[in-house]
């Protein structure tokens, strides 16, 4: 595996993987500052800033940016998450320098013109409006609010119509100046790339960035609670969530295997028992999200209001059975195979590989080898997975959310309490 890592004098890290047989590359600047870095008065600023990166610089109009990258057959994109903001380009190997220079210009020299701010404000308001038509989005937003109340991690990444309406260029500049620093940035590339060229470009473009960001991050506190929205939809959506494990935690892979066995595919317990044998829903799955100092393990399903009480009792009963009895060996083997395949299939994409390299540097301080990943997965035992379930049951903090059915909250909350007390009927 041809992975190289270097570092600028200001602390910015450069990592690359030259992938044999590829004629294209993905190059990206990954900033360890996302929506979670916002103050209470900045809700939605991180995402707004990412949008404005494409709206012109002192030397390029938005149209010139689009024409320059697309004229080379490439594409630019960016994404804001709770903890990171990523700017990346997909290009031919011969155009890697173009991609890096464009990203550097967008990142370092956004124009923030009033006209472009107003136009993009309307785009983001439409993006927010679209989430209000999605019961899934409403449910997960409510779940995060209950898991991390009165904290940036518990707020939607997009902001609200009220906060987006009031943000000005000065707010975006302040967020950028207080969070975008060399020690929080990784320049990562995968595919047909030269590490020496990447490092040279990084020195040229980013060596003047400040070393440290003046704004520290506050530690997350998972608290739990019950929430509902009675906005009318055809189905009732339900979410249960528990505190999981931070990224890089010793039990993180056990948590992933737990959710894989519980609800990670068509052979999982949730899918088989709730959908295939009982016909209670079309989709049900478990999920596992990691943050730098916290995490969430949970399940999500949608069903009719009439079938909701049976579904929630059965679904949480499956979580409880894994806690009480642990998984079977064949379930362990299947979940490990799924996890390995998912990891390695995604890493055949240069875009996913560039992202993984940056993530490894931020979480572990170095890229992990495939052999290390396999060893971490294979090292998880039945007892480790059972311990995850017992941990979920032992903590009093639980999130329960229902969306789309009047009066559903009581059945959802009652099932949560029964799960914690061990009085839920077995699956």
DSSP state of 13: E
The pLDDT of residue 347 is 82
- Confirm if 410 and 228 have CB atoms less than 8 A apart: no
When mean pLDDT is compared across 102-106, 148-152, 318-322, 341-345, the lowest value belongs to 341-345
CA distance 397 to 94: 52
Over residues 59-99, the pLDDT tens digits come to: 999 999 999 999 999 999 999 999 999 999 999 999 999 99
For residue 318, give the nearest of 377, 140, 310, 237 by alpha carbon. 310
Q: What is the pLDDT of residue 182?
A: 96
362 band by pLDDT with thresholds 50, 70 and 90: very high
371 or 346: which leads in pLDDT: 371
pLDDT tens digits, residue range 371-414? 999 999 999 999 999 999 999 999 889 999 999 877 777 888 88
Q: What is the pLDDT of residue 396?
A: 87
Q: What DSSP line would sit under 285-296, residue for residue?
A: EEEEEE-SS-EE
As a whole number, mean pLDDT of residues 336-355 equals 92
* β-bridge partners, 15: 5, 188
Give the pLDDT confidence score for residue 1 in this predicted structure: 58
pLDDT tens-digit readout, 180-218: 999 999 999 999 999 999 999 999 999 999 999 888 888
pLDDT for residue 425: 65
pLDDT in tens, 99-114: 999 999 999 999 999 9
* 3-state percent breakdown (helix, strand, coil) of the chain, nearest 5: 50, 20, 30
Share of the chain above pLDDT 70, in %: 99
pLDDT grade for 161, boundaries at 50, 70 and 90: very high
- The one catalytic residue among 23, 38, 42, 50: 50
CATH topology match: 3-206 vs 225-421? yes
Mean pLDDT of the chain: 94
Q: Of 282, 272, 408, which Cα lies nearest the Cα of 328?
A: 272
Separation CA 212–CA 85 (nearest Å):
17
- The pLDDT of residue 234 is 87
Which helix H or strand E contains 255, and what residues bound it? helix 252-263
Indicate the pLDDT class of residue 426, thresholds 50, 70 and 90. low
Q: Whole-model pTM?
A: 0.94
**CATH (residue range 225-421):** 3.30.830.10
Whole-Å CA distances, 20 to 100, 240, 348, 356: 21, 43, 11, 17
pLDDT at residue 427 above 70?
A: no
Query: Is pLDDT of 2 > 90?
Result: no
**Domain coordinates of the chain in residue numbers?**
3-206, 225-421
More confident residue, 213 or 349: 349
pLDDT at 421: 84
Tell whether the model's pLDDT for residue 309 goes beyond 70: yes
Report the residue count for the chain. Answer: 427
Determine the pLDDT at residue 218.
85
> What CATH number belongs to 3-206?
3.30.830.10
For 144, list phi and psi in degrees, rounded to 5.
-65, -40
How far is the C-alpha of 165 from the C-alpha of 133, rounded, in Å? 20
DSSP lists the bridge partners of residue 24 as: 92
Query: Are 349 and 177 spatial neighbours (Cβ–Cβ below 8 Å)?
Result: no
CA atoms in the 13 A half-sphere facing the CB of 30: 27
- Say what percent of the chain tops pLDDT 90: 88
Q: Please give the pLDDT value at position 344.
A: 87
Mean pLDDT across 235-245 = 96
CB 422 within 8 A of CB 289: no
Q: Any residues with CB less than 8 A from the CB of 138 and at least 6 apart, and which? A: 131, 132, 229, 231, 237, 403
CB 78 within 8 A of CB 64: no
pLDDT tier at 281, thresholds 50, 70, 90: very high
Residue 83 bears catalytic tag:
no
Q: Which residues pair with 28 in a beta bridge?
A: 88, 188
């Amino acid at each position: 595996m041809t992975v190289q890592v270097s570092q600028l004098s200001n602390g910015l890290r450069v990592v690359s993987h030259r992938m044999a047989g590829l004629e294209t590359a993905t190059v990206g600047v990954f900033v360890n500052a996302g929506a979670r870095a916002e103050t209470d008065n900045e809700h939605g600023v991180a995402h707004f800033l990412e949008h404005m990166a494409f709206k012109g610089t002192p030397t390029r109009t938005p149209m010139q940016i689009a024409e320059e990258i697309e004229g080379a057959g490439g594409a630019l994109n960016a994404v804001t998450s709770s903890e990171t903001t990523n700017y990346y380009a997909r290009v031919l190997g011969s155009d890697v320098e173009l991609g890096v220079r464009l990203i550097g210009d967008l990142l370092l020299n956004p124009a923030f013109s009033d006209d472009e701010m107003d136009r993009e404000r309307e785009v983001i308001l439409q993006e927010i409006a679209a989430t209000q038509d999605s019961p899934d989005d409403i449910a997960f937003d409510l779940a995060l609010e209950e898991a991390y109340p009165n904290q940036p991690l518990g707020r939607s990444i997009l902001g609200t119509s009220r906060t987006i309406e009031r943000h000005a260029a000065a707010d975006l500049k302040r967020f950028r100046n207080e969070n975008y620093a060399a020690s929080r940035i990784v320049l990562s590339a995968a595919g047909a790339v030269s590490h020496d060229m990447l490092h040279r470009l990084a020195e040229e473009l980013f060596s003047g960035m400040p070393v440290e960001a003046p704004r520290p991050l506050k530690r997350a506190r998972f608290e739990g609670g019950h929430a509902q929205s009675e906005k009318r939809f055809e189905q009732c959506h339900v979410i249960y969530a528990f505190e999981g494990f931070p990224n890089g935690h010793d039990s993180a892979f056990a948590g992933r295997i737990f959710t894989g066995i519980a609800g990670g595919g068509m052979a999982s317990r949730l899918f088989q028992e709730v959908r295939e044998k009982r016909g209670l829903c079309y989709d049900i799955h478990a999920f596992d999200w990691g943050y730098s100092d916290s995490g969430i393990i949970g399940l999500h399903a949608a069903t009719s209001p009439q079938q909701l009480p049976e579904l929630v009792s059965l679904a949480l009963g499956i979580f409880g059975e894994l806690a009480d009895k642990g998984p079977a060996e064949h379930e362990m083997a299947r979940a490990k195979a799924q996890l390995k395949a998912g990891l390695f299939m995604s890493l055949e994409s240069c875009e996913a590989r560039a992202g993984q390299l940056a993530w490894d540097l931020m979480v572990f301080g170095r890229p992990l080898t495939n052999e290390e990943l396999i060893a971490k997965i294979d090292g998880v035992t039945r007892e480790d997975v059972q311990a995850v379930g017992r941990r979920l049951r032992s903590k009093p903090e639980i999130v329960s959310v229902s969306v789309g059915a009047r009066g559903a909250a009581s059945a959802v909350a009652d099932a949560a309490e029964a799960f914690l007390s061990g009085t839920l009927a077995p699956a």
